[in-house]
Structure 1
Amino acid sequence: MLMTEARRYSAVAMIFHWAIAVLVIWNWRLAENAEHASRAEATAIFADHKAIGITILVLTLGRLVWRLTHKWPPLPSNYAGWERVLARVTHVVFYVLLIGLPLGGWLANSFNGREIEYFGLFTIPALPVGENEGLGETIYDAHKLGGQIIIYLVALHILGALKHTFIDKDGGIFRMLPFGRVGKAR
Protein backbone atom coordinates (compact mmCIF):
# COMPACT_ATOMS: atom_id res chain seq x y z
CA MET A 1 0.00 0.00 0.00
CA LEU A 2 1.39 3.42 -0.91
CA MET A 3 1.78 5.93 1.84
CA THR A 4 -0.72 8.75 1.46
CA GLU A 5 -0.40 12.46 2.08
CA ALA A 6 -0.96 11.65 5.77
CA ARG A 7 2.57 10.20 5.66
CA ARG A 8 3.96 13.61 4.72
CA TYR A 9 4.57 16.42 7.13
CA SER A 10 2.30 19.44 6.82
CA ALA A 11 3.31 22.44 4.71
CA VAL A 12 3.88 24.47 7.89
CA ALA A 13 6.14 21.76 9.35
CA MET A 14 8.06 21.65 6.07
CA ILE A 15 8.57 25.42 6.08
CA PHE A 16 9.83 25.33 9.67
CA HIS A 17 12.11 22.36 8.89
CA TRP A 18 13.75 23.80 5.78
CA ALA A 19 14.04 27.36 7.13
CA ILE A 20 15.74 26.11 10.28
CA ALA A 21 17.97 23.73 8.29
CA VAL A 22 19.18 26.50 5.99
CA LEU A 23 19.76 28.89 8.89
CA VAL A 24 21.68 26.30 10.94
CA ILE A 25 24.04 25.55 8.06
CA TRP A 26 24.40 29.24 7.22
CA ASN A 27 25.13 30.07 10.86
CA TRP A 28 27.72 27.31 11.11
CA ARG A 29 29.46 28.68 8.00
CA LEU A 30 29.41 32.20 9.49
CA ALA A 31 31.06 30.94 12.68
CA GLU A 32 33.67 29.06 10.63
CA ASN A 33 34.36 32.16 8.51
CA ALA A 34 34.69 34.35 11.61
CA GLU A 35 37.43 32.06 12.93
CA HIS A 36 39.61 33.03 9.95
CA ALA A 37 38.66 36.71 9.70
CA SER A 38 40.28 39.84 11.07
CA ARG A 39 38.95 41.04 14.41
CA ALA A 40 36.77 43.74 12.82
CA GLU A 41 35.38 41.32 10.23
CA ALA A 42 34.80 38.67 12.88
CA THR A 43 32.83 41.14 15.00
CA ALA A 44 30.53 41.92 12.05
CA ILE A 45 30.19 38.24 11.14
CA PHE A 46 29.35 37.28 14.72
CA ALA A 47 26.72 40.04 14.87
CA ASP A 48 24.92 38.25 12.03
CA HIS A 49 25.62 34.86 13.65
CA LYS A 50 23.92 36.02 16.86
CA ALA A 51 20.90 37.47 15.05
CA ILE A 52 20.47 34.28 13.03
CA GLY A 53 20.78 32.28 16.25
CA ILE A 54 17.88 34.24 17.75
CA THR A 55 15.90 33.61 14.55
CA ILE A 56 16.63 29.88 14.85
CA LEU A 57 15.44 29.98 18.47
CA VAL A 58 12.15 31.69 17.56
CA LEU A 59 11.52 29.37 14.60
CA THR A 60 12.34 26.29 16.68
CA LEU A 61 9.95 27.35 19.44
CA GLY A 62 7.31 27.94 16.76
CA ARG A 63 8.03 24.53 15.26
CA LEU A 64 7.82 22.87 18.66
CA VAL A 65 4.45 24.51 19.38
CA TRP A 66 3.25 23.40 15.93
CA ARG A 67 4.46 19.86 16.51
CA LEU A 68 2.77 19.65 19.90
CA THR A 69 -0.54 20.97 18.60
CA HIS A 70 -0.75 19.20 15.23
CA LYS A 71 -0.59 15.58 14.24
CA TRP A 72 2.60 14.49 12.50
CA PRO A 73 2.99 11.44 10.30
CA PRO A 74 4.00 8.18 11.93
CA LEU A 75 7.32 6.61 11.12
CA PRO A 76 7.06 4.19 8.21
CA SER A 77 6.29 0.62 9.21
CA ASN A 78 9.42 -0.71 7.49
CA TYR A 79 11.75 1.03 9.98
CA ALA A 80 13.72 -1.40 12.14
CA GLY A 81 13.51 -0.95 15.89
CA TRP A 82 16.96 0.65 16.06
CA GLU A 83 15.98 3.09 13.28
CA ARG A 84 12.88 4.15 15.23
CA VAL A 85 14.92 4.72 18.38
CA LEU A 86 17.64 6.58 16.47
CA ALA A 87 15.04 8.77 14.71
CA ARG A 88 13.37 9.72 18.01
CA VAL A 89 16.65 10.34 19.85
CA THR A 90 17.99 12.42 16.94
CA HIS A 91 14.88 14.60 16.90
CA VAL A 92 15.01 15.17 20.66
CA VAL A 93 18.71 16.07 20.50
CA PHE A 94 17.98 18.42 17.58
CA TYR A 95 15.35 20.26 19.64
CA VAL A 96 17.65 20.45 22.67
CA LEU A 97 20.47 21.92 20.55
CA LEU A 98 18.23 24.20 18.47
CA ILE A 99 16.93 25.75 21.68
CA GLY A 100 20.02 25.35 23.86
CA LEU A 101 22.60 26.77 21.44
CA PRO A 102 20.88 30.14 20.90
CA LEU A 103 20.02 30.43 24.59
CA GLY A 104 23.60 29.53 25.50
CA GLY A 105 24.96 32.10 23.07
CA TRP A 106 22.62 34.76 24.50
CA LEU A 107 23.59 33.76 28.06
CA ALA A 108 27.32 33.88 27.24
CA ASN A 109 26.89 37.33 25.70
CA SER A 110 24.96 38.42 28.77
CA PHE A 111 27.72 37.25 31.11
CA ASN A 112 30.10 39.36 29.04
CA GLY A 113 27.80 42.39 29.34
CA ARG A 114 26.76 42.38 25.67
CA GLU A 115 23.39 42.93 24.08
CA ILE A 116 22.47 41.34 20.75
CA GLU A 117 21.76 43.54 17.75
CA TYR A 118 19.08 41.97 15.59
CA PHE A 119 20.20 42.92 12.07
CA GLY A 120 20.15 46.60 13.05
CA LEU A 121 16.38 46.46 13.55
CA PHE A 122 16.32 46.32 17.35
CA THR A 123 18.45 45.33 20.31
CA ILE A 124 17.87 42.26 22.43
CA PRO A 125 18.97 43.12 25.95
CA ALA A 126 21.41 41.05 27.93
CA LEU A 127 19.80 38.60 30.31
CA PRO A 128 19.80 39.85 33.92
CA VAL A 129 22.65 37.60 35.09
CA GLY A 130 25.39 40.07 35.98
CA GLU A 131 28.81 40.03 34.44
CA ASN A 132 31.09 37.03 34.76
CA GLU A 133 33.53 36.83 31.85
CA GLY A 134 34.99 33.49 32.95
CA LEU A 135 31.59 31.83 32.99
CA GLY A 136 30.74 33.56 29.70
CA GLU A 137 33.85 32.04 28.08
CA THR A 138 33.03 28.60 29.48
CA ILE A 139 29.55 28.84 27.97
CA TYR A 140 31.03 30.01 24.65
CA ASP A 141 33.23 26.90 24.63
CA ALA A 142 30.18 24.68 25.28
CA HIS A 143 28.30 26.60 22.57
CA LYS A 144 31.08 25.91 20.08
CA LEU A 145 31.08 22.20 20.97
CA GLY A 146 27.30 22.09 20.62
CA GLY A 147 27.63 23.74 17.20
CA GLN A 148 30.01 20.99 16.11
CA ILE A 149 27.66 18.33 17.43
CA ILE A 150 24.67 19.76 15.58
CA ILE A 151 26.59 19.74 12.28
CA TYR A 152 27.44 16.05 12.77
CA LEU A 153 23.80 15.44 13.62
CA VAL A 154 22.73 17.24 10.43
CA ALA A 155 25.05 14.96 8.45
CA LEU A 156 23.59 11.88 10.17
CA HIS A 157 20.08 13.14 9.44
CA ILE A 158 20.87 13.69 5.76
CA LEU A 159 22.48 10.25 5.47
CA GLY A 160 19.40 8.68 7.05
CA ALA A 161 17.06 10.48 4.65
CA LEU A 162 19.18 9.41 1.68
CA LYS A 163 19.33 5.80 2.93
CA HIS A 164 15.57 5.64 3.26
CA THR A 165 15.04 7.26 -0.12
CA PHE A 166 17.58 5.45 -2.28
CA ILE A 167 18.40 2.18 -0.51
CA ASP A 168 15.13 1.34 1.27
CA LYS A 169 13.19 3.07 -1.51
CA ASP A 170 10.50 4.22 0.92
CA GLY A 171 10.69 7.85 -0.25
CA GLY A 172 11.95 9.01 3.14
CA ILE A 173 13.12 12.44 2.02
CA PHE A 174 9.78 13.14 0.36
CA ARG A 175 8.03 13.01 3.74
CA MET A 176 9.49 16.49 4.29
CA LEU A 177 9.03 17.77 0.71
CA PRO A 178 5.80 18.82 -1.02
CA PHE A 179 6.68 16.77 -4.10
CA GLY A 180 7.96 13.32 -4.92
CA ARG A 181 6.58 9.93 -4.16
CA VAL A 182 6.53 8.63 -0.64
CA GLY A 183 7.13 4.99 -1.52
CA LYS A 184 5.92 1.68 -0.30
CA ALA A 185 6.75 0.50 3.16
CA ARG A 186 8.33 -2.92 3.03
Structure 2
Amino acid sequence: MTLKNTPDRWGAVSQSFHWLIVLLILALAIVGLTMGELPRTPKYFWVYTAHKSMGITVLALMLLRLGWRLYAGAPKPVAGTPTWQAAIAAVTHWALYALALAIPLSGWLYDSASGLRPFRWFGLFDVPKLVGPNEWLADQARDAHELLFWVLVVLVAAHAGAAFYHHLFQRDDTLARMLPRRRPRPTTPTQDPDHVA
Protein backbone atom coordinates (compact mmCIF):
# COMPACT_ATOMS: atom_id res chain seq x y z
CA MET A 1 0.00 0.00 0.00
CA THR A 2 1.31 3.43 -0.89
CA LEU A 3 1.27 6.36 1.50
CA LYS A 4 -0.23 8.69 -1.08
CA ASN A 5 -3.70 8.33 -2.55
CA THR A 6 -4.01 6.76 -5.99
CA PRO A 7 -6.78 7.13 -8.57
CA ASP A 8 -8.25 3.84 -7.27
CA ARG A 9 -7.61 3.81 -3.51
CA TRP A 10 -7.08 5.93 -0.45
CA GLY A 11 -3.46 5.63 0.69
CA ALA A 12 -2.20 4.57 4.10
CA VAL A 13 -1.99 8.14 5.44
CA SER A 14 -5.59 8.99 4.49
CA GLN A 15 -6.82 5.68 5.88
CA SER A 16 -4.98 6.26 9.17
CA PHE A 17 -6.41 9.78 9.52
CA HIS A 18 -9.91 8.51 8.67
CA TRP A 19 -10.09 5.65 11.16
CA LEU A 20 -8.25 7.46 13.97
CA ILE A 21 -10.64 10.42 13.70
CA VAL A 22 -13.64 8.06 13.54
CA LEU A 23 -12.53 6.37 16.79
CA LEU A 24 -11.88 9.70 18.53
CA ILE A 25 -15.24 11.14 17.48
CA LEU A 26 -16.99 7.96 18.67
CA ALA A 27 -15.24 8.28 22.05
CA LEU A 28 -16.12 12.00 22.20
CA ALA A 29 -19.76 11.22 21.44
CA ILE A 30 -20.00 8.58 24.18
CA VAL A 31 -18.32 10.83 26.74
CA GLY A 32 -20.27 13.92 25.67
CA LEU A 33 -23.62 12.15 25.91
CA THR A 34 -22.93 10.64 29.33
CA MET A 35 -20.74 13.08 31.26
CA GLY A 36 -23.69 15.30 32.20
CA GLU A 37 -24.98 12.43 34.35
CA LEU A 38 -21.76 12.14 36.34
CA PRO A 39 -21.67 13.52 39.90
CA ARG A 40 -19.57 16.68 40.26
CA THR A 41 -16.58 14.89 41.74
CA PRO A 42 -12.91 15.21 40.71
CA LYS A 43 -13.58 12.35 38.27
CA TYR A 44 -16.19 14.52 36.49
CA PHE A 45 -13.70 17.32 35.92
CA TRP A 46 -11.08 14.81 34.72
CA VAL A 47 -13.58 13.37 32.19
CA TYR A 48 -14.63 16.87 31.11
CA THR A 49 -10.99 17.89 30.53
CA ALA A 50 -10.34 14.65 28.63
CA HIS A 51 -13.34 15.41 26.41
CA LYS A 52 -11.99 18.87 25.63
CA SER A 53 -8.48 17.52 25.04
CA MET A 54 -9.77 14.91 22.59
CA GLY A 55 -11.79 17.60 20.82
CA ILE A 56 -8.68 19.73 20.28
CA THR A 57 -6.90 16.59 19.05
CA VAL A 58 -9.65 15.97 16.47
CA LEU A 59 -9.37 19.60 15.33
CA ALA A 60 -5.61 19.28 14.84
CA LEU A 61 -5.94 15.91 13.06
CA MET A 62 -8.66 17.29 10.79
CA LEU A 63 -6.45 20.21 9.77
CA LEU A 64 -3.65 17.75 8.98
CA ARG A 65 -6.07 15.48 7.12
CA LEU A 66 -7.42 18.37 5.08
CA GLY A 67 -3.89 19.47 4.21
CA TRP A 68 -3.03 15.91 3.18
CA ARG A 69 -6.20 15.66 1.08
CA LEU A 70 -5.32 18.87 -0.76
CA TYR A 71 -1.78 17.58 -1.32
CA ALA A 72 -2.48 13.92 -2.12
CA GLY A 73 -5.80 14.31 -3.92
CA ALA A 74 -8.60 11.78 -3.75
CA PRO A 75 -9.47 8.63 -5.68
CA LYS A 76 -11.78 8.97 -8.63
CA PRO A 77 -15.35 7.71 -8.23
CA VAL A 78 -15.66 3.95 -8.63
CA ALA A 79 -16.22 3.01 -12.24
CA GLY A 80 -19.90 2.90 -13.08
CA THR A 81 -20.95 5.31 -10.31
CA PRO A 82 -23.71 7.63 -11.61
CA THR A 83 -22.73 11.29 -11.76
CA TRP A 84 -25.42 12.27 -9.25
CA GLN A 85 -24.13 9.75 -6.70
CA ALA A 86 -20.57 10.98 -7.14
CA ALA A 87 -21.74 14.57 -6.63
CA ILE A 88 -23.66 13.68 -3.45
CA ALA A 89 -20.64 11.74 -2.14
CA ALA A 90 -18.34 14.72 -2.76
CA VAL A 91 -20.71 17.15 -1.02
CA THR A 92 -21.10 14.73 1.91
CA HIS A 93 -17.32 14.34 2.28
CA TRP A 94 -16.75 18.10 2.43
CA ALA A 95 -19.70 18.55 4.81
CA LEU A 96 -18.21 15.91 7.13
CA TYR A 97 -14.85 17.70 7.01
CA ALA A 98 -16.55 21.02 7.83
CA LEU A 99 -18.48 19.52 10.75
CA ALA A 100 -15.43 17.73 12.15
CA LEU A 101 -13.72 21.14 12.23
CA ALA A 102 -16.70 23.21 13.39
CA ILE A 103 -17.72 20.98 16.31
CA PRO A 104 -14.40 21.15 18.20
CA LEU A 105 -14.08 24.84 17.33
CA SER A 106 -17.53 25.55 18.80
CA GLY A 107 -16.59 23.54 21.90
CA TRP A 108 -13.36 25.50 22.25
CA LEU A 109 -15.30 28.76 21.83
CA TYR A 110 -17.85 27.62 24.44
CA ASP A 111 -15.06 26.79 26.89
CA SER A 112 -13.36 30.13 26.22
CA ALA A 113 -16.48 32.28 26.57
CA SER A 114 -17.59 30.45 29.72
CA GLY A 115 -14.85 32.18 31.70
CA LEU A 116 -13.41 28.94 33.05
CA ARG A 117 -9.73 28.56 33.80
CA PRO A 118 -7.66 27.42 30.82
CA PHE A 119 -7.71 23.63 30.59
CA ARG A 120 -4.54 21.63 30.11
CA TRP A 121 -4.39 19.45 27.00
CA PHE A 122 -4.05 15.96 28.52
CA GLY A 123 -2.30 17.66 31.43
CA LEU A 124 0.62 18.81 29.28
CA PHE A 125 0.00 22.50 28.48
CA ASP A 126 -2.66 25.18 28.81
CA VAL A 127 -4.94 25.63 25.80
CA PRO A 128 -5.30 29.37 25.08
CA LYS A 129 -8.69 31.06 25.17
CA LEU A 130 -10.23 32.22 21.89
CA VAL A 131 -12.25 35.02 23.54
CA GLY A 132 -12.86 36.54 26.93
CA PRO A 133 -15.84 35.67 29.18
CA ASN A 134 -19.14 36.29 27.40
CA GLU A 135 -22.29 34.59 28.66
CA TRP A 136 -24.32 35.18 25.48
CA LEU A 137 -21.53 33.85 23.25
CA ALA A 138 -21.04 30.85 25.54
CA ASP A 139 -24.74 29.98 25.22
CA GLN A 140 -24.63 30.32 21.42
CA ALA A 141 -21.47 28.25 21.13
CA ARG A 142 -22.91 25.52 23.40
CA ASP A 143 -26.11 25.33 21.35
CA ALA A 144 -24.12 25.24 18.10
CA HIS A 145 -21.87 22.51 19.52
CA GLU A 146 -24.87 20.30 20.30
CA LEU A 147 -26.74 21.02 17.06
CA LEU A 148 -23.70 20.40 14.86
CA PHE A 149 -23.09 17.11 16.67
CA TRP A 150 -26.57 15.82 15.76
CA VAL A 151 -26.13 16.98 12.16
CA LEU A 152 -22.85 15.01 12.14
CA VAL A 153 -24.65 11.92 13.47
CA VAL A 154 -27.17 12.08 10.60
CA LEU A 155 -24.47 12.61 7.96
CA VAL A 156 -22.24 9.85 9.35
CA ALA A 157 -25.20 7.44 9.30
CA ALA A 158 -25.93 8.37 5.67
CA HIS A 159 -22.23 8.10 4.75
CA ALA A 160 -21.79 4.69 6.40
CA GLY A 161 -25.11 3.46 5.00
CA ALA A 162 -24.07 4.43 1.48
CA ALA A 163 -20.70 2.69 1.90
CA PHE A 164 -22.36 -0.54 3.07
CA TYR A 165 -24.98 -0.29 0.30
CA HIS A 166 -22.21 -0.12 -2.28
CA HIS A 167 -20.36 -3.00 -0.61
CA LEU A 168 -23.32 -5.35 -0.12
CA PHE A 169 -25.58 -4.56 -3.07
CA GLN A 170 -23.51 -2.78 -5.71
CA ARG A 171 -20.56 -5.12 -5.02
CA ASP A 172 -18.03 -2.40 -5.81
CA ASP A 173 -14.87 -1.14 -4.05
CA THR A 174 -16.29 2.02 -2.46
CA LEU A 175 -15.84 0.69 1.09
CA ALA A 176 -12.86 -1.57 0.41
CA ARG A 177 -10.64 1.25 -0.82
CA MET A 178 -10.77 2.88 2.62
CA LEU A 179 -9.66 -0.40 4.23
CA PRO A 180 -6.13 -1.83 4.30
CA ARG A 181 -5.61 -4.11 1.35
CA ARG A 182 -5.27 -7.76 2.26
CA ARG A 183 -2.13 -9.44 1.18
CA PRO A 184 -2.83 -12.49 -0.95
CA ARG A 185 -2.08 -15.77 0.73
CA PRO A 186 0.96 -17.53 -0.70
CA THR A 187 -0.18 -20.43 -2.79
CA THR A 188 1.37 -23.78 -2.00
CA PRO A 189 1.59 -26.30 -4.78
CA THR A 190 -0.85 -29.14 -4.30
CA GLN A 191 0.86 -32.42 -3.72
CA ASP A 192 0.19 -35.19 -6.18
CA PRO A 193 -1.23 -38.10 -4.15
CA ASP A 194 0.45 -40.53 -6.53
CA HIS A 195 3.82 -38.89 -6.06
CA VAL A 196 6.09 -40.77 -3.74
CA ALA A 197 9.09 -38.92 -2.32
Which residue of structure 2 aligns with residue 99 of structure 1? 101
Q: Secondary structure at the match of 1:159?
A: helix
User: Deviation of residue 180 (structure 1)?
Assistant: 5.2
Which residue of structure 1 aligns with residue 144 of structure 2? 142
CA distance in 1, matches of 2:73, 2:83: 22
User: Deviation of residue 171 (structure 1)?
Assistant: 2.3
Which residue of structure 2 aligns with residue 12 of structure 1? 13
Alignment of 1:96-175 (within 5 A): 96-114=98-116, 115-127=118-130, 129-175=131-177
- Aligned AA (2:122): F
CA distance in 2, matches of 1:116, 1:77: 48
Higher relative contact order (CA 8 A, sep 6+): 1
Q: Is residue 33 of structure 2 the alignment partner of residue 32 of structure 1?
A: yes
Which structure's CA Rg is the greater one? 2
Q: Secondary structure at the match of 2:120?
A: strand
Unpaired segments of 5 or more residues in structure 1? 182-186
Task: List, as ranges, runs of 4+ consecutive aligned residues in structure 1 with deviation greater than 6 Å.
Answer: none
CA distance in 2, matches of 1:78, 1:113: 54
CA distance in 1, matches of 2:7, 2:182: 14
Q: Secondary structure at the match of 2:175?
A: helix
TM-score by length of 1: 0.88
Which residue of structure 1 aligns with residue 195 of structure 2? none
CA distance in 1, matches of 2:132, 2:28: 27
Asked whether the 8 Å contact 1:10–1:72 carries over to 2, the reply is no
* Structure 1 pair 78–180 and aligned structure 2 pair: CA distance change class (3 A): farther
Which residue of structure 2 aligns with residue 184 of structure 1? none
Q: Relative to structure 2, which stretch is displaced further, 33-42 or 137-146?
A: 33-42
Superposed CA RMSD in Å reads 1.7
Asked whether the 8 Å contact 1:47–1:116 carries over to 2, the reply is yes
CA distance in 2, matches of 1:13, 1:63: 7
- Aligned AA (1:172): T
Asked whether the 8 Å contact 1:53–1:102 carries over to 2, the reply is yes
Greater per-residue helix proportion? 1
* Structure 1 pair 52–96 and aligned structure 2 pair: CA distance change class (3 A): same
Asked whether the 8 Å contact 2:78–2:173 carries over to 1, the reply is no
User: Deviation of residue 102 (structure 1)?
Assistant: 1.0
Q: Secondary structure at the match of 1:39?
A: coil
What is the CA deviation profile of residues 21-78 of structure 1, one whole-angstrom value per residue up to 9, with x for unaligned ones? 1111110011011132223344332211111110000100000000101132111132
CA distance in 2, matches of 1:57, 1:79: 32
2:87 is matched with which residue: 85, 88, 109?
85
